[in-house]
Chain A
């Protein structure tokens, strides 16, 4: 499509009243500076900036803080929130959302939240909990529960019962765990004595 408009390659801003900079600043120098800054950046870079590749070094096309995942650009696609809440995908797709459960530890003033999906099994989960709260979990055995430590990892299941972490297969645990609690002391011993 032929362009019917003849346009300069710059904005001819000398003709305008407003410009940045102190009086006497050489305009063309400033313009070169701006052009360099505003050069188009190839789009893949823009997408990368928004994704997990982290910050790019050059000035960017946008100043938003990088969102957590590529899909979650704030306000994009432009759909009202009430529409998002009403959607029920018909086809069964692998769930993108994690299984977030709160973790509390007796004596600790704060709670943590973890995504169970990122652990492949109990050993990883327990390791993560140990790192998170800076303590050691004892040895697990089916008959005697956790031995060798004051701390015992427990969880509340869908029925509201408090169970010992490790008693049921990992998949069942993931689907039934509502929250985790790292128990300490006598309460722990009570649970450890088998149910």
Chain B
């Protein structure tokens, strides 16, 4: 084998490696021998860092000197629900500085849940001459000024995608900073922006970029301007409308309808804020081509939703509010036979009583009618073990199952039993399940099922569940492929954590908040496991000012080769090897 590896010149090996793009395969190649490691690292063009604190920028740059594309993730997932205090971290600045010096030819930066400032954006705009793709997913810390810098300087920009980021809206004029001779835009997603962008600048931009495939507008773009935009970009594949409301006027309607009909490639629709149902038929002509439909902002009732969705025979992904109700989901089950992903969001999540007729039955219908359904996110107010068992038996091909029963601790509404056996059926039948979110009344038993059956599970989210450390122990000791575990408000303490300390090094991260973990256990873990960062997040002050057995507020543990980070705020404590408590 050694002889064979050496018998090919480097250029040949490099050429062969160029056909291998998948990260795991590339990692495997690099472990074959020193020579392959060397060739692979020089030819790697793209890197994904799932936790920006797991490694330092310098280490990445030293190993991969010729990167063109980097993806970084920062804050833990529960930051999406305001469980991570502001200022926790996830700053991209050190990465941008290091890469500005090391990678003049960097083309792509994709960030998720990171803090990026206008200064960072300006540095990107100045440093990378061939910069092409900027995706900021759920990021924050920047304003439209930073966007202006990108627009003005990145002459080869193809993608600017701000999905779900929090942007300080200083002015809508940033869009005008794209030069008049700039024509390479392929994808623009500004749906998260609050303020109006200069519409004439937008029109001209859209008109002069012939390769534009994706255009996601923000709410401020009025409906009566949409037709003009569509006529300038009939090649669009993905469109997010602005506010979908206007006085009902036949001329506006027919203009819009004609413009939609002209978009022969349109496969994905989103937006639909403030929907006036009378304008929905304007999209009917293209429904049969749609593969993705995001109606999760559309506050329209079930009958209108049914009329729309009933025409989307090729739909693969549907995001919708629970206004669709069980009747609407029956219609989906009947019409959308190719459906792969369903997300149903709550229209009134904080109301004490159900406001719509959406129950477990809707999900059961879709699981029966849609043989390709593999990804579900479902908010509802009642569930039964019987329904979960039916869904599990119907859809053994399920890979992502996230159920949120709105009231914590809700039992099976028919039997008043915990939902252990229902979720147990899900993990037993769906052998390829990668992601699972639990809710409802659950004892330690559900975790026993998960530990026993969920062998492919990579991410588990748990809230208000379980009875004892045994629950956590089942998961940590049983789920061989577990990478991310996030837990809140469960009676899990130190025992299972300490008993499975080694497991934590095989995972990307563990989050536990409002559980029963003590500072003593955290100190022990931090001391014994040098390749874990054990971060105690507690806004009540130094953990050692309370008894060691007093539970901490929040715990975030992640594996790292970079040691403790240097940018921790005052409410984050970490333990290092000499057992001194380190404050940032």
Contacts and interface: CB of A to CB of B under 8 A. Distances in A.
The winner among A5, A41, A84 for most chain B CB atoms within 10 A is A5
B491 interface: yes
B350 A63 contact: no
Contacts of B186: none
A74 B301 contact: no
A40 B470 CA distance: 11
B235 interface: no
A28 to B, nearest CB: 13
A43 B407 CA distance: 11
A176 B30 CA distance: 71
Interface string A72-112: 11111111111110111111010010000000000000000
Contacts of A168: none
Interface stretch (A11-19, A152-160, A183-191): A11-19
B573 interface: no
Contact of A16 (B301, B424, B461, B499): B499
B418 to A, nearest CB: 9
Given A83-B345, A89-B348, A61 B463 contact: no
A34 B493 contact: yes
B514 interface: yes
B489 A62 contact: yes
A132 interface: no
A46 B518 CA distance: 20
A80 B469 contact: no
B56 interface: no
Contacts of B515: 61-63
Contacts of A80: 80-81, 164
A64 B553 contact: yes
B408 A76 contact: yes
A117 interface: no
A79 B499 contact: no
A17 to B, nearest CB: 8
A35 B552 CA distance: 18
Nearest to A59: B516
Contact of A38 (B348, B409, B493, B498): B493
Interface stretch (B12-20, B117-125, B520-528): B520-528
Interface string B334-362: 00000000000111111110010000000
B37 interface: no
A3 interface: yes
A75 B83 contact: yes
A71 B348 contact: no
A1 to B, nearest CB: 5
Contacts of B525: 18
Given A20-B524, A96-B350, A43 B441 contact: yes
B350 A71 contact: yes
Nearest to A4: B452
Interface string B76-108: 001011110000000000000000000000000
A113 interface: no
A93 B351 contact: yes
Nearest to A61: B491
B81 A89 contact: no
Interface size class of B (residues with CB under 8 A): 35 or more
A11 B82 contact: no
The winner among A44, A46, A74, A77 for most chain B CB atoms within 10 A is A77
B212 interface: no
A75 B467 contact: no
A39 interface: yes
Nearest to B445: A3
Contacts of A37: 493, 516
Interface string A32-68: 0011011111011011001000000001111110000
B450 to A, nearest CB: 11
Interface string B442-460: 0110001101100000000
Nearest to B554: A63
The winner among A72, A87, A96 for most chain B CB atoms within 10 A is A87
A134 B352 CA distance: 38
Nearest to B296: A83
B553 A91 contact: no
Contacts of A50: 408
Interface in B463-506: 463-464, 466-470, 473-474, 488-496, 498-499, 501
B409 A47 contact: yes
Given A18-B501, A77-B349, A77-B379, A13 B495 contact: yes
A5 B467 contact: no
A88 B299 contact: yes
B516 A87 contact: no
Contact of A64 (B273, B424, B514): B514
A87 B494 CA distance: 40
A71 B348 CA distance: 12
B197 interface: no
B323 interface: yes
Contacts of A62: 488-490, 514-515
Contacts of B551: 63
A16 B477 CA distance: 13
B76 to A, nearest CB: 12
A46 B514 contact: no
Nearest to A45: B409
B52 interface: no
A31 B468 CA distance: 12
B425 interface: yes
A79 B408 contact: no
Contacts of B227: none
Nearest to B410: A43
A74 B516 CA distance: 18
Given A1-B424, A82-B192, A74 B347 contact: no
Given A1-B424, A20-B524, A91 B80 contact: no
B299 A1 contact: no
A78 B347 contact: no
B538 to A, nearest CB: 9
Contacts of B474: 7
A2 to B, nearest CB: 11
Contacts of B524: 18, 20
B452 A89 contact: no
Top 10 A-B pairs, shortest CB-CB distance: A40-B467, A62-B514, A75-B81, A43-B409, A62-B489, A61-B491, A18-B498, A63-B551, A64-B514, A38-B468
30 contacts: A1-B428, A5-B451, A7-B448, A7-B470, A7-B474, A13-B498, A16-B498, A18-B501, A20-B521, A20-B524, A39-B467, A39-B491, A43-B441, A61-B490, A61-B514, A63-B553, A71-B350, A75-B82, A76-B81, A77-B346, A78-B80, A78-B81, A78-B461, A79-B81, A79-B345, A79-B379, A82-B192, A84-B349, A87-B299, A89-B347
Given A77-B349, A93-B355, 5 more contacts: A61-B489, A63-B552, A72-B350, A78-B404, A83-B345
